[in-house]
Amino acid sequence: FQSYLFLVNAVLAGYGGLEHRNSTALLCKRDQIPQMNTPLDESAYREFLGLCSHEYFHAWLVKRIQPQAFQPYQLDRRNHTRLLWLFEGFTSYYDDLQLLRSKRIDLKTYLKLVANNWNGILRGPGRLKQSLADSSFDAWTKYYQADENTPNAVVSYYGKGALLALGLDLKIRNFTKNRLSLDDIIRAIWHKHGVTLEGIAEDGLDTIVIQVIGSDFTKTWNEFKTRYIFGSEDIPVQRWLPNTITAKPKSHSKLEKIKLQLGMRHTEVNGWLKITHVLDGGAAQLAGLAPGDLLASINGERVTTARLDKVLTSLNPEQVLTICFYRDDLEHECMTVLDLNQLPDQFDLIPTA
């Protein structure tokens, strides 16, 4: 394209983007972009820049390089591909990386964004049940039809796909002693499928990866695919980092710890704290709580949205809890235990130098 247009609709509440071949339609909050006489919320603005970067990258990856399964795109039905981790995940990896490379953000900020995404994945029990290939294929029926069980059953091909791209980038850099990187793979995909507009087959990446990195990478690539694309293992990024970056266990405040151990999400309804999600392996699940329950008290203290943090802070990370709640307007009491094993792994990424 000769020029590229960012069409920004800044509203009170809303967020998202739609990619086109030489433009993008973006929706963001007014407070996310610089305004006259108003101090700028740096992290909200960074999120907006990430969105711009994401949709811009799509001009190459998905608007020109496309899955064969999208050619021709059939607008009257669902078009399935197992490759959304590539089209959305790798785009999500490059959106923040391009902000670093273009000096919109510094390394420390970039590592914070990467760690936030990684930690979010590690908090979702669904990551151990659904593979990235399945998450891609079932996007229309699961990812975009979220219900109360989604965090336990589904992994995001955006978030984990971005982590996969980071993992593959690190693997390639290790394997080739920094001679090659994921950039070389993306360039090869561009030449083979972008310039020609020939769609990429479901297994189309195999040949490219081996052509670019070399046939001695075959075993590593096959194992990588089996474990992290078609399997649902955690991607051990901490083991593959260069020695310039360290992954340290994240230190949590007591409140953060207890919230992670409880493993529930909630909303407020008429002054009541209503449970929306109960995560696998958490103390809330152990208690037998379910989405829809109205939480009344924990260890005799009434809980409301306003008082929840105060009540949770008074607890101990290894303690028995008595919880009162209402289900179908009937009062119930249950017991559960807070246990340090309920804490998911969480990391900070720190530049070593």
Q: Cα–Cα distances in Å, from 105 out to 41, 50, 112, 114, 248?
A: 14, 10, 11, 13, 22
CB of 20 to Zn ion, least distance (A): 12
Residues recorded for the chain: 353
CB of 93 to Zn ion, least distance (A): 11
CB of 242 to Zn ion, least distance (A): 28
Site for Zn ion in 51-110 (CB under 5 A): 88
Site for Zn ion in 309-338 (CB under 5 A): none
Site for Zn ion in 27-46 (CB under 5 A): none
Nearest 10 degrees: Cα torsion 177, 178, 179, 182: 120
CB of 219 to Zn ion, least distance (A): 32
The rounded radius of gyration (Å) of the Cα atoms in the chain is 22
Q: Which is nearer to Zn ion, 87 or 217 (CB)?
A: 87
Q: Which is nearer to Zn ion, 85 or 217 (CB)?
A: 85
CB of 139 to Zn ion, least distance (A): 12
Residue closest to Zn ion (Cβ): 88
Task: Tell me whether strands 5-11 and 23-29 are parallel, antiparallel or unpaired.
Answer: parallel
Q: Is 99 exposed, middle or buried (0-12, 13-18, 19+ CB in 10 A)?
A: buried
Q: Which is nearer to Zn ion, 194 or 263 (CB)?
A: 194
Site for Zn ion in 134-173 (CB under 5 A): none
92 within 8 A of 159, measured Cβ to Cβ: yes
What lies within 8 Å, CB to CB, of 195 at 6+ separation is: none
Q: Which is nearer to Zn ion, 190 or 272 (CB)?
A: 190
Q: Which is nearer to Zn ion, 85 or 228 (CB)?
A: 85
Q: Cα–Cα distances in Å, from 127 out to 81, 122, 230?
A: 19, 8, 12
Q: Is 193 exposed, middle or buried (0-12, 13-18, 19+ CB in 10 A)?
A: buried
Q: Which is nearer to Zn ion, 88 or 134 (CB)?
A: 88
DSSP secondary structure of 313-329: HTS-SS-EEEEEEEETT
> Mask 226-265, x = binds Zn ion (CB under 5 A)?
----------------------------------------
Q: Which is nearer to Zn ion, 84 or 185 (CB)?
A: 84
CB of 18 to Zn ion, least distance (A): 9
CB of 24 to Zn ion, least distance (A): 10
Q: Which is nearer to Zn ion, 88 or 96 (CB)?
A: 88
Query: By CB under 5 A, how many residues form the interface with Zn ion?
Result: 1
CB of 329 to Zn ion, least distance (A): 43
Nearest 10 degrees: Cα torsion 173, 157, 102, 248: -60
53 within 8 A of 98, measured Cβ to Cβ: yes
One-letter amino acid of 17:
G
Residues that bind Zn ion (CB under 5 A): 88
